[in-house]
Structure 1
């Protein structure tokens, strides 16, 4: 069995373990490395002294510089690689959880920011009902599908993908803040929220990526700036688009926005989200 079949077999398991995720990611990286090595070896030919040998060398080069194309990485593979990376990416430290959202408007880029301390104090800039550009106190709590979720609850979420989905499904929910797919049990929106905007622990982020990998029909549209563009069809005609950097375990941008009520709203364009722990005061 070749490496691609081995990876496919490994990834076919419905509930991938951490060990399986790590092995899968390693084999995918090994496949890329071997492809690069084959291309390099095509040019490392000895200098031959005769015209016949030179002609033979040219023939070898022509056949060596075009190795068989590697099979495309699936959307599930990308998410499982991100799951493996999430466990080793440093969380960072600081006083404030700083979230920055950026998207394009007819008047140019619009930027929203928020800073939240572990005891629940929060400040924001350019969010609803606030003077433009001003940093204001905004005691809005963290929310998931409309329900308030605190630091201790985030820390206590399961690190097993299936258990995580069960826990999310059992949280108090606000139907008016949920997407139709969430109300039907697909839970894609809250899983994406856990890996984009909330200060989710590394092991829970890993589980959220792995849980998303089990979403039916997730597709990889190919490499773009910042990572791999994934397409996740939802019930009806809705489709989530997001760019995932599997090495950094990061969603660089997506076509959905977390609302003040804790729900998700679809956007016609991409919204970039960056998060960090910082000691820098809001200003």
Structure 2
């Protein structure tokens, strides 16, 4: 799914109908994805962007063609992480993605639930670009904060702030200085398209609020859902998978014309559920167990997120396509859900270039071109 085209077609409710430039869409992508979209008609509600903050990494991959198939997900037996001694002679114990996910599920089950009037989230999103002049890499950062009411009929609050753009490495900074240390950096959106000018200075925080869609819809989880829906999700992985798949139609979360496998669709939606949705700890554990049964999910150990926190990731690959002028460019990205094994709490979601193509055509394999880190996710009685 191309994030720019998707956001153009599915503006979140809190942003209104005014046109927004490309930079704003990129900077506020993580918050936009946590908002349900108003129904176009009473007969059918088009999928919204509220896959939660996690979808920023998976959906921002600009996928149009996705391969792979889904499968059934009976509940797996509980598995604990085996003990590893401190001896340097001890052989390394290799764990599968399934074993790690099941262990994370056990730890997620034991986390406290909490109470409060609002579900509060704080995240930082990073998007990578290449400068038009000098070709150095630029990281554009933004901070998003959201308050979702537990009760129906209330307002949903949001606060966003651009943290400014900056060169990524010392070599990139040297190239930026060589270009005259511009306060605004014009960047490429692709090999043949020039994007916006990114400011290197932080912006002012902007706070807004809007009534809940239909008075009670708070997130997108395959369909627009209420807080009551989220709190009542089944804690059995098989039942949870069945509940989610009732909204799956063989395509992506927004466009009927782009095919998406059941595995990738479940990974994308479930990653949002795990990352920062107000579900019970037992439902979060069930989501881990459900992902453990997907054959296409891979384990990535010793991953460091954009905030420098170390964790473990599970990942799934996605084919991406983007049309530049009259040419279509295809590539592959790996969408990763990074979490803390000891607590089962999500740390971040990101997308890594595997095969350059689409909007990632100008990046080397292994480049993390988009990330969203979760700094806070929990209940509070305070609002802005």
Find the aligned partners of 1:180 and 1:77 in 2 and give their Cα distance.
36
Cα distance in 2, alignment partners of residues 178 and 239 from structure 1: 21
* Structure-2 separation of matches of 1:271 and 1:94: 25
How far did residue 183 of structure 1 move?
4.3
Pair 1:124-2:158 in alignment: yes
Structure 1 or 2: more helix by fraction: 1
What per-residue deviation string (whole Å, max 9, x for no partner) do you get for residues 139-191 of structure 1? 35423356210112112221111211111111487955269998432221111
- Which one of 336, 339, 344 corresponds to residue 244 of structure 1? 339
Equivalent residue, structure 2, for 1:144:
220
Q: Deviations along 1:232-251, whole A, 9 cap, x unmatched?
A: 22467342112111211111
Give the alignment partner of residue 88 of structure 1, picking from 107, 110, 117.
110
Distance 1:182 1:276 in 2: 34
Aligned pairs for 1:185-200 within 5 A: 185-186=262-263, 187-200=266-279
Q: Whose RCO is larger (CA < 8 A, sep 6+)?
A: 2
Q: 2:120 aligned to 84, 90, 98, which one?
A: 98
2:228 is aligned with 1:133: no
Distance change (3 Å), C-alpha of 1:221 and 1:107: closer
1:184 aligns with 2:261: yes
TM-fit CA distance, 1:88: 0.7
Structure 1: runs of 5+ lacking an equivalent? 1-13, 40-65, 257-265
Give the match's secondary structure for 2:301.
strand
Distance 1:279 1:145, change over 3 A: closer
The answer (yes or no) to whether the contact 1:146–1:178 under 8 Å persists in 2 is no
**1:163 matched residue in structure 2:** 239
- 1:230 has 2:314 as partner: yes
Give a deviation string over 1:257-283, Cα, whole Å, max 9, x none.
xxxxxxxxx98222102311112321x
Conserved in 1, the CA contact under 8 Å of 2:107 and 2:343? yes
Q: Is 1:255 aligned with 2:350? A: yes
Identify if the C-alpha distance between structure 1 residues 169 and 180 changes in structure 2 by more than 3 Å, giving closer, same or farther.
Answer: farther
2:104–2:343: 8 Å Cα contact kept in structure 1? yes
Unaligned runs of 5+ in 2: 1-72, 128-137, 163-202, 304-308, 321-331, 352-359, 361-367
- Structure 2 CA distance, aligned partners of 1:87 and 1:246? 12
Q: What SS is found at the alignment partner of 2:262? A: coil
Secondary structure of 1:223 counterpart: strand
Change (3 A) 1:198 1:270: same
State the TM-score, normalized to the length of structure 1: 0.68
How far the C-alpha of 1:103 sits from its partner, in A, is: 2.0
SS in 1 for 2:211: coil
Contact 1:179–1:189 under 8 Å retained in 2: no
Deviation at 1:89, TM superposition (A): 0.4
Cα displacement (A) at 1:67: 1.6
Distance 1:201 1:188, change over 3 A: same
Match of 1:115 in 2: 147
The 8 Å contact of residues 145 and 178 in structure 1, kept in 2 or not, is answered as no
Residue deviations 1:25-55, cap 9 Å, x none?
A: 1xx24x22xx13xx3xxxxxxxxxxxxxxxx
- State whether residues 164 and 207 of structure 1, in contact with CA within 8 Å, keep that contact through their aligned partners in structure 2: yes
Q: CA RMSD in A?
A: 3.2
Which structure has the greater CA radius of gyration? 1
> Stretches of 4+ moved more than 4 A in 1?
105-108, 172-176, 178-183
Contact 1:146 1:175 in 2 (8 A): no
| Alpha-carbon distance in 2 for matches of 1:135, 1:109 | 17
Matched residue SS, 1:168: helix
Instruction: Indicate how the Cα distance of structure 1 residues 93 and 156 shifts in structure 2: closer, same or farther if over 3 A, else same.
Output: closer
**What does residue range 196-235 of structure 1 map to in structure 2 within 5 Å?**
196-224=275-303, 225-234=309-318
